[in-house]
Amino acid sequence: MEITEDQVRDVLRIEQIIPALERALVDLSTGNVTQPVRTVISVPEHQGWIGIMPVVYGSFMGAKLVTVYPANAKISRPTHQAVIQLFSSLTGEPLATIDGRLITEMRTAAVSAIATNLLASPHARVLAILGSGVQARSHLHALSLVRSFTEVRVWSPTQANAQRFAAEKDALNMPTAEAAVRGADVIVTATNAADPVLRGEWLKPDAYVNAMGAVGPTKRELDTAAMRASIVVESRAAALVESGDILLAGASIYAELGVLLANPQHPKPPGRFVYKSLGIAIEDVVCAQLVYEALK
């Protein structure tokens, strides 16, 4: 079975992804998922890379092949493209080949919504988004499912894109990243930056940050001061290899998201939380399973 992006769009909803991924993240952190760290091959002549992401989970297993080419934004092509191959783990039988671009977009925002619901103040009302592309849009939708924002601010290195986003989403287009972040309760960094765009001196002591750009050990969106927080990740093993935000700041990891989901009543430390998103294979295969079961 081959499944296109349009078919994925017809059947997959963030509202159904969230509970499925909550269960999967708990299973990951409790040792019930077999998932190696992603293998990445650089394509330096085109400023891109390809990642290979396999996982075995319950009666399903699969792998995502994902490419990230930031320069594609200049030629109106997606910066992230992917295909997911789903198999039966019972027989090894190939079940479906699924376009992975939209799944990547949706599952990333869904996990940020899970983390936001768990870690951000229940009284959070001001959302700041640094970036104005696909992930900025999907995060606004997903986070609005778990918090009632009365003000949304956007800043982008490309002001024309920020203006377009602000007009479409009834958001405030801010002149600088600092202006967007000052006083915000929840911050999303969704850029292609390799160097910090978010500085800790701008953040409220109890601000909550979803840091979802900057995948790779040499890239970061947050400076060292912003990383002086309780750091939460999807996978400790992946973060210690792939997160420049963590490695370059010398930051320690407080917990995996699945550990906190499994113990929601456990007291959390006061102060700022940063959820550092990297994207892991279990998230893709769970979404692929939802799509497959809806269409088979």
Residues 275 and 128 in one domain: yes
Q: What is the pLDDT of residue 192?
A: 82
Residue ranges making up the domain that contains 113: 109-280
Angle at 126 between CA 120 and CA 131, to 5 degrees: 95
Residues 296 and 284: their CA atoms lie apart, in Å, by 18
Residues 116 and 214 in one domain: yes
For residue 114, name the pLDDT band (cuts at 50, 70, 90).
very high
For residue 266, name the pLDDT band (cuts at 50, 70, 90).
confident
Q: Across the chain, what does the average pLDDT equal?
A: 94
80-88 and 94-99: which strand pairing? antiparallel
Average pLDDT for residues 46-64, to the nearest whole number? 94
Average pLDDT for residues 130-138, to the nearest whole number? 93
Residues 22 and 225: their CA atoms lie apart, in Å, by 30
Residues 156 and 272 in one domain: yes
Average pLDDT for residues 22-27, to the nearest whole number? 97
Of 15-19, 42-46, 149-153, 180-184, where does mean pLDDT reach its minimum? Answer: 42-46
CATH code, 240: 3.40.50.720
For residue 156, name the pLDDT band (cuts at 50, 70, 90).
very high
CA torsion 187-190-196-199 (nearest 10°) is -10
CATH code, 76: 3.30.1780.10
What is the total count of domains within the chain? Answer: 2
Q: What is the pLDDT of residue 13?
A: 96
Q: What is the pLDDT of residue 289?
A: 97
Query: pLDDT digits over 182-230, tens only?
Result: 999 999 999 988 899 999 999 999 999 999 987 888 889 999 999 999 9
What is this structure's pTM?
A: 0.93
Residue 268 has φ and ψ, to the nearest 5°, of -105, 150
Q: Is pLDDT of 296 > 90?
A: no
